Structure 1
């Protein structure tokens, strides 16, 4: 049971690290802003401070 808890903790830390890396990659990626927003918004463990604001197109 202790081993399961250790593995779960390691997986949580790994997912948080992977999310930070993906946030960095997708913030600099040459995708349209809306695509970047959708990708970053759906990352698990994503911090709200790194999420780009949703902007509406001016008419």
Structure 2
């Protein structure tokens, strides 16, 4: 199945990787550098730790009497 959006993303990713000779450490360093310049524009999300029990209780249906 051809998806033009996925294809466009792959082309962008490939052209970015090509600039760094497909060297993963250089690619990651570039993304980290870009991330630092946009950090003030990123949404702040409060991380909440959930216990396994609370997740199970929310997703498991209780039998009805």
Q: TM-score when scaled to structure 1?
A: 0.34
- Greater RCO (Cα-Cα under 8 Å, separation 6 or more): 1
Q: TM-score when scaled to structure 2?
A: 0.31
Q: Which has the larger radius of gyration?
A: 2
